[in-house]
Structure 1
Amino acid sequence: MKATQLLQKVVNRVSQATTRKRVSPVLTRIPEPMRDLAIKGEYLRVFPYPTERVIGDYQTEPFITRSTKIVTLGSCFAQELSKWLVTHNFNCLKDEWGVIYSPKSLAQIVQYSFDSANWGPSEPMWMLDSKYYFPYLKSADHSGPRLLGASEDEARSSLREHFKRSQSAMKEADVAVWTLGLTELWRNKRDGYAYYAIPYPQIFNADVHEFHSLNYEEVIECLEFSIQTCKSNNPKLKIILSVSPIPLSMSFRSHLGPYVATQYSKSILHAAALRLTEKYDHVSYMPSYELVRNDPRANYTSDGRHVTRSCVDLVMDSFKKLYVLESA
């Protein structure tokens, strides 16, 4: 079913739900000065929740035009957003980073983009099969860490060029869309730098590498560092935060299991993102997670993890309503 048909369907459902002659018992207990606000804020007794109501109730100020320079960073869902923006002729800057999952990885990218002199992980590169790799970014083809070169000199040169391109994109952007994926990561015990994923068997050392799941305070710290650093280096930048609806592919929190661990990650990321939109005027939120999870059967493919094309269209149509100026 096309996105337009889905939207018409939910519009009809909203119309039916909101025209019922029903007075909620709860409303009779609301003081008169607050009655209108309570009516507007009353949860509709309908499933799935109408998309038009979700978007209509969420108040934003559109600021994106076709010429707005947009950069996207984050999980697989961020790449879906980037593809859609390019296809629909928005000015989406080249993705220099590939898939990144955690707020810690985002903060590391921001650090080496604007302060490469102080970028100093104890494992700057991995050597695999006589080639040098950057263990903090995933390769474009998702096959492993990003390849830097066949020699150390080539690898260092490649890394310097990447740092320059990364800084250039972040300084050029008018809007950054950051899609937060998960809180689980693998890091170096000595310096705390987080890898793109668990180190390969030929690299892994239990005395050096450890699993960690970011808590709420750590997520806030990573995001605030990223927000403040980007803003100080690019004062015009506006940021839109979102939470990826893609579940974890696996979890190393065996006492929780992957399903509960997914909810743990998403809950922390969701709470942190919304908290920061309240704190910073230039930071907004895109409720893509809510839209997708609202109707899982309709929005996910048969693997239960990735979203359908019609779901992407539905989310991006909502993105346009919330953040794109009508003249665009």
Structure 2
Amino acid sequence: MPHPYETLPEDRFWRTAVADRDAMEISGLWKPKYAVRRRTRIVTAGSCFAQHFAKALVARRYRWVDFEPGPAGLTPAQRHDYHYGTFSFRTGNIYTPRMLLQWLTWALTGAEPPEEVWESGGRFYDPFRPGVEPGGFASVDELQASRRDTLAAIAAAVKGADVFVFTMGLTEAWQSRASGVEYAVCPGTVAGEFDPEAHVFVNHGFAALMADMTAALRLMFRTNRRLMVLLTVSPVPLTATASGNHVLTATSHSKSLLRAVASELTRDQVRVDYFPSYEIITHPAYRGRFFAPNLRSVLPEGVDHVMSNFFRDQAAAFGEAGTPAPIVEPSPLSDEPAEPELTEAEELRCEEEILAAFAPDQRNA
């Protein structure tokens, strides 16, 4: 009787699948569980890289849905500044599974968010999305009304979507010592004031990450019984780390844990899948060609190659027609014209990026 390795296809061997190929010809990295068609209602949330995913879907005429498009009459620049159209709802970046679980709990169960508000210069900032309102809100009432709109949009997105794409980005976070609630960023960076007696650093381990993602999935699936979830891991390295370790090893630690969580959930839950955008950007087989010189920003050709793999693997599994050349279009729920091209620095809206301003070579700049 032949042993199992004698009958495996070529993509299961390193030499034939990777070493003997040009990196741009490596294929079949994803065996999707379910079809994503052009009419599939897709919502996106998560870390910075999820913003690329949404734009690529819209550019290829897929049905990315914006459940919080914002007031009529905003210019494209204003929509960008106020975080409309960045994700499918105006939460800003959701970096950790715990943050996702918090938002879903507030939106889907009726649980009230903490009353904590950050104040600076007479303006008010939401601790859970401090960057969405440039210059802060004029009042606490305005802040809370805006947050209620976002919670309603999250609930509508979960109920109305066919596929929920969530990009996991970090394991590190800051929490309230009193309530355990998790902030979007460290207090005192974007807004607020840091207090070591009130704020505590956490670096979630595998068990905590798995528990939070499992609870988040349970809430979503209970709300929408047809919903599928597609997980990705952001390939963008940490801007900074409070773990006490070098930022390079801290990045490896965080991404490895998130990647392991994604694998476990994909294996154990039939409605959860994982798409390997992380591997496509970061794996040594690609020799770093998709990163900008700062070794952090992902170049447009990297995003394009990721999405080309996405659509090609979908077609291989489900026979979807070939994807046309990218065509930039406005958000499906917006009458505004497409936004102009952004510079590399403007491309992503990432609260974590503010941490770069506190590096030793920038503190006196």
Q: Report the equivalent of 2:37.
A: 65
Q: Report the equivalent of 2:156.
A: 168
State the superposition RMSD in angstroms.
2.3
Q: Which has the higher strand share?
A: 1
Q: Report the equivalent of 1:129.
A: 121
Q: Deviations over 1:121-143 (max 9, x none)?
A: 362x22222222211124248x6
The one-letter amino acid of 2:215's match is F
Q: Do structure 1's residue 46 and structure 2's residue 19 form an aligned pair?
A: yes
Give the gaps of 5 or more residues in structure 1: 1-29
With over 3 angstroms needed to count, the CA separation of the structure-2 counterparts of 1:300 and 1:213, relative to structure 1, is: same
Q: Deviations over 1:190-228 (max 9, x none)?
A: 111111100017521111101110000010011101111
The one-letter amino acid of 1:213's match is N
Q: Do structure 1's residue 287 and structure 2's residue 276 form an aligned pair?
A: yes
Q: Take 1:196 and 1:49, find their aligned partners in 2: how far apart are those partners? A: 40
The one-letter amino acid of 1:75's match is S
Question: Which protein is bigger by CA-based radius of gyration?
Answer: 1
Q: Deviations over 1:26-78 (max 9, x none)?
A: xxxx943541128652222628874544x425422441111111111111100
The one-letter amino acid of 1:198's match is C
Q: Which has the higher contact order (CA 8 A, sep 6+)?
A: 2
Same amino acid, percent of matched pairs:
30
With over 3 angstroms needed to count, the CA separation of the structure-2 counterparts of 1:296 and 1:43, relative to structure 1, is: closer
Q: Take 2:4 and 2:128, find their aligned partners in 1: how far apart are those partners? A: 54
Q: Report the equivalent of 2:312.
A: 321
Q: Do structure 1's residue 245 and structure 2's residue 235 form an aligned pair?
A: yes
TM-score by length of 2: 0.74
Kept in 2: contact 1:61–1:323 (CA 8 A):
no
**Aligned pairs (5 A) from 1:141-290:** 147=136, 149-200=137-188, 203-254=193-244, 256-290=245-279
Q: Report the equivalent of 1:103.
A: 97
Secondary structure, counterpart of 1:65 in structure 2: coil
Secondary structure, counterpart of 2:173 in structure 1: strand
Q: Take 1:33 and 1:293, find their aligned partners in 2: how far apart are those partners? A: 30
Q: Take 2:277 and 2:24, find their aligned partners in 1: how far apart are those partners? A: 11
With over 3 angstroms needed to count, the CA separation of the structure-2 counterparts of 1:56 and 1:102, relative to structure 1, is: same
Kept in 2: contact 1:71–1:176 (CA 8 A):
yes
Kept in 2: contact 1:242–1:288 (CA 8 A):
yes
Q: Report the equivalent of 2:46.
A: 74
Q: Report the equivalent of 2:6.
A: 35
Q: Report the equivalent of 2:337.
A: none
Secondary structure, counterpart of 1:319 in structure 2: helix
Secondary structure, counterpart of 1:211 in structure 2: strand
Q: Deviations over 1:246-285 (max 9, x none)?
A: 000000112x210000000000000000100011001001
Kept in 1: contact 2:29–2:276 (CA 8 A):
no
Q: Take 1:63 and 1:69, find their aligned partners in 2: how far apart are those partners? A: 12
TM-score by length of 1: 0.82
Secondary structure, counterpart of 2:273 in structure 1: strand
Q: Report the equivalent of 2:77.
A: none
The one-letter amino acid of 1:136's match is F
- Following superposition, the deviation at residue 296 of structure 1 comes to 4.3
Q: Report the equivalent of 2:73.
A: none
- Following superposition, the deviation at residue 163 of structure 1 comes to 1.1
The one-letter amino acid of 2:239's match is S
With over 3 angstroms needed to count, the CA separation of the structure-2 counterparts of 1:31 and 1:40, relative to structure 1, is: farther
Kept in 2: contact 1:113–1:163 (CA 8 A):
yes
Give the gaps of 5 or more residues in structure 2: 67-87, 323-365
Secondary structure, counterpart of 2:288 in structure 1: helix
Kept in 1: contact 2:50–2:166 (CA 8 A):
yes
Q: Of 103, 106, 118, which aligns to 2:111?
A: 118
- Following superposition, the deviation at residue 86 of structure 1 comes to 1.4
- Following superposition, the deviation at residue 302 of structure 1 comes to 0.8
Q: Which has the higher helix share?
A: 1
Q: Take 1:50 and 1:66, find their aligned partners in 2: how far apart are those partners? A: 28
Q: Deviations over 1:129-174 (max 9, x none)?
A: 2222211124248x68xx4x31222222222222111211121111
With over 3 angstroms needed to count, the CA separation of the structure-2 counterparts of 1:177 and 1:47, relative to structure 1, is: farther
The one-letter amino acid of 2:158's match is M
Kept in 2: contact 1:100–1:138 (CA 8 A):
no
Q: Report the equivalent of 2:81.
A: none
Q: Report the equivalent of 1:11.
A: none
